[in-house]
A and B are shown apart, each in its own frame.
Chain A
């Protein structure tokens, strides 16, 4: 039973390029979350998605960032025109279908480390 799979594990981009980070949740999990960890900081919530729907994107920067979780395939976090401040570790997590209230447990991937030169 594979856990959350993220790729690439490491990504280097020059300023102005696009970064695409992929996340395949635990099999059977329909809820995906993206978190960002800047150097020396804790994880910060970015977005919560279910299949084909964005449920909560309150943590997403207003510009350049977008996320999707299509019916088929992995969830994608896309960052357009990257800047140095986007350098961070991006973690994906998944949880199973809600059933009368989630326990709150998240299953995390190993993270994708983005470096912007």
Chain B
């Protein structure tokens, strides 16, 4: 069965410092991975997906199949990045993916001024 692990429950950095939120996964097939974010008093929302290879709000994430990791990185953290971050893996039965996601436990990022 697939599993997503976020080893850090809490992560604190100072504004302007680099930040890396770790995510490791186990999955027998070809994974589709996502980062979701929940800002204070807001809904959970998609931040980025690995297939897009895009940078959103300065964040990037590279899928490393050898290390089965999908770490989220930002070179210079901002206070508004403080939020709960969830790494998620999409189940793709029969090659057609849909919204059955396996979530990690989440990492609370706090960026101090």
Contact = CB atoms under 8 A, between A and B. Distances in A.
Contact of A3 (B4, B43, B97, B101): B43
B96 interface: yes
Interface stretch (A9-17, A77-85, A98-106): A98-106
Interface in A1-38: 3-4, 31, 33, 35
Interface string A51-87: 0000110000000000000000000000000000000
A108 B44 contact: yes
Given A43-B103, A109-B43, A102 B98 contact: yes
B32 to A, nearest CB: 6
A56 to B, nearest CB: 6
A44 B95 CA distance: 22
B103 A95 contact: no
Nearest to A40: B105
Main secondary structure of the interface of B (DSSP, over half): mixed
Contacts of A43: 44, 86, 101, 103
A42 B77 CA distance: 24
B interface, size bucket = 20 to 34
A45 B39 CA distance: 21
A48 B43 CA distance: 20
A interface, size bucket = 20 to 34
B113 interface: no
A81 to B, nearest CB: 27
Nearest to A44: B103
Interface in B63-89: 86
A48 to B, nearest CB: 6
A91 interface: yes
Nearest to B104: A42
Nearest to B89: A104
Nearest to A46: B100
Contact of B43 (A33, A95, A104, A110): A110
Interface of B: 4, 6, 32, 34, 43-46, 49, 51, 86, 90, 95-106
